[in-house]
Amino acid sequence: MNQGLIAIAAALAVAISTIFPALGQGLTAKAAMESIARQPDAAKDIRSTLIIALALMEALTIYGLLVAFMLVSKI
C-alpha cells in the first residue's frame, strides 16, 4: 500500500510540475511575441528577457522530475 502511494505521489509530482510551467511558458511566449510586434526595435531586449524567463520556468519542471526520482528511489 505504501509503495502505491509513493508511486502516485511521483506521478503527480511530474504531472503538476510539467503542466503549469508549460502553460506559463506559452503565455510568456505569447506576450513576448505581442511585445515584439508592437515594438520591433526592442526585439533584442525582449528576446533575451524571454529566454531567461523560459529557462527559470524550465528549472521548475526539472525540480519536479528530481522530486519524482527521489520518491521512486524509496520504493
At 49, list the grid cell.
Answer: 528577457
pTM above 0.85, yes or no: no
Q: What are the boundaries of each domain within the chain?
A: 2-72
At 69, list the grid cell.
Answer: 526520482
- DSSP helix/strand/coil, 73: coil
Task: Return the sign of the alpha-carbon dihedral for residues 15, 20, 60, 62.
Answer: positive
Do residues 74 and 2 make contact, with C-beta atoms less than 8 angstroms apart? no
Cα 17 from Cα 20, distance rounded (Å)? 6
CATH class of 2-72: mainly alpha
pLDDT on residue 54: 94
**pLDDT in single tens digits along all 75 residues of the chain:** 688 898 898 899 899 989 999 999 999 999 999 999 999 999 999 999 999 999 999 998 999 899 989 888 877
